[in-house]
Amino acid sequence: MSLENFTQPIPIPTSSYATLASEEHFPVVSSENSHSTRRDISPPQTEISVQQTPHTRSHISQAITVASTSTLSEEIPQLDRRIPLDQIQDKRCWICFGEDNDSEGAWVRPCRCTLICHEECLLHWIAESQRSTPLKRVRCPQCKTTYHLSESTAPILYILSFLDSKIQASIPYIGIFGASFCVAMGTVDYGAFALLSMVGVEEGERLLQEPWSWRMFFSLPLIPILLIFSRTRIADPLMPLAPLLFIRSDSLTLTMPPHPTVTLSILPWIRMMYNGLYTRLFGRIEASWRREIEPYVPEEGDGANDRGQDVFDRLERRNFGRTIVGALTMPFISALFGSFLGKSSFIRSKIPDHFHRSILCGCLIVILKDAVDLTFKYQKVKQRRSRQVQNYEEFAHEERTRRGHNQRRRA
């Protein structure tokens, strides 16, 4: 920034300066030889020293904000750099606006421009600027020169300050890592709990107490994720490959009932076949129902391009929470109904292990749910087909008849 900019008017109004300089915020130092009043940053003492109270710090922060965002005014005398500091007659601190004749303390000129200030004021400003970042380089707000301080700094203090700044900068990353670790541990716990529910306590404890292989480490956290994807069509091409993380080559033997790993490997294929069969049997029917109850849309006007909100879309749209809850509760609901089926000696003789009974109940729950959805949609279509507009005389007569009937019942 050039020196010509120093002569530009300051954007701070005189009333604001008077407010900052009022006795309500800072003490006022009076001098017998001077009739001027200035804003002071210290109590009335022989030397300038600021008491570090929250009240004082707030106004130091105001001075920092004003000094760093405002252009310097013509009230700050434009000094010649060639004149030594001790020979300058009219000194004015650009931080507290104190002049040489009404303030005490050492004056400094720490940058290459013409700004001068009290040393104590500048030290407090630098301390405020470095409050959040101790190693921050503080610069002149006008010429951007870095202020240089001579201070006694022990090597241990520099090391500790460096470590403190690095720790402060790493806090967000540590928080993200901690949250991710908690989520991962939660998915592992859920996977283990779902495994115990589906295969039974004895078999589940045997699997979990064995030395964990890489499959166990990867498969348990993926159980809730795969359950959520199974409720959507997003990961259909990848779902048949998911069992490869759970099964081992030595367990792929055909037995009756099949081994749990074999059952898990064929479940995605059964799901794809079921979805294809459902679409083939009921896809056209649902499409015709959709066209039948589609809301009427005018061909002209602002609503010409708006097809309206489909009734089926409202029925089939699942929000994020409903999808997650339905997917994550499916293993436990299946295990609960599987335990009920196990109370029947006939079913227990045909399906002896708890795992296959839970799988069977899960498949039946899916089929029952789709049947209920079809029934609900059909009833909505049937309701729409029976919809008629009543004449006023008809429903007015019905209303009068109902009212008279209610009055007779009260009497």
What confidence tier does 27 reach under pLDDT thresholds 50, 70, 90? very low
Confidence class for position 401, pLDDT limits 50, 70, 90: confident
Do 123 and 233 belong together in one domain? Answer: no
Residue 373 has pLDDT above 70, yes or no: yes
**Residue 160: strand, helix, or coil:** helix
**Residue whose pair of structure tokens reads 């380089």 in the numeric block:** 137
pLDDT at 26 over 70: no
Cα within 13 Å of Cα(380), Cβ side: 20
Is residue 181 domain-shared with residue 84, that is, in the same domain?
no
Q: Are residues 199 and 333 in the same domain?
A: yes
If asked whether residues 212 and 141 sit together in one domain, one would say no
**Domain assignment of residue 382, yes or no:** no
**Structure-token pair, residue 257:** 């009932």
Stretch 161-174: mean pLDDT: 87
Average pLDDT over residues 63-77: 47
* Residue 250 shares a structural domain with residue 344: yes
Of residues 367 and 82, the one with the higher pLDDT is 367
Work out how many domains the chain is built from and give that number.
2
Residue 119 shares a structural domain with residue 186: no
Is residue 388 one of the residues assigned to a domain? no
Q: How far apart are alpha carbons 330 and 338 in whole angstroms?
A: 12
Element of type H or E holding 117? strand 117-118
Pairing of β 107-108 and β 117-118: antiparallel
Q: Are residues 243 and 313 in the same domain?
A: yes
Domain hosting residue 102, numbered range: 1-151
| Residue 22 pLDDT class (50, 70, 90 cuts) | very low
129 and 198 in a single domain? The answer is no
Regarding pTM above 0.85, the answer is no
Q: Is residue 404 part of a domain?
A: no
Mapped onto helix, strand or coil, the DSSP state of residue 316 is: helix
Q: Render pLDDT for 257-314 as a digit per residue (tens, 0 to 9).
A: 777 777 877 888 888 899 889 989 998 898 888 777 765 544 454 444 444 445 555 5
Please say if the pLDDT value at position 41 is more than 60. Answer: no
Residues 125 and 184 in one domain: no
pLDDT band at residue 349 using 50, 70 and 90 as cut-offs: confident
Query: Average pLDDT, whole number, for the chain?
Result: 72
- Amino acid at position 267, single letter: L
Instruction: Express each pLDDT in 217-243 by its tens digit.
Output: 778 888 888 888 888 777 777 777 777
Q: At what angle do helices 54-69 and 119-129 cross, to 10 degrees?
A: 90
pLDDT of residue 178: 92
Q: What is the pLDDT of residue 23?
A: 37
Looking up tokens 């209920």 gives 372
CB 292 within 8 A of CB 285: no
Same domain assignment for residues 201 and 143: no
In 293-308, where does DSSP find H-type helix?
Answer: none
312 C-beta neighbours (distance < 10 Å), count: 16
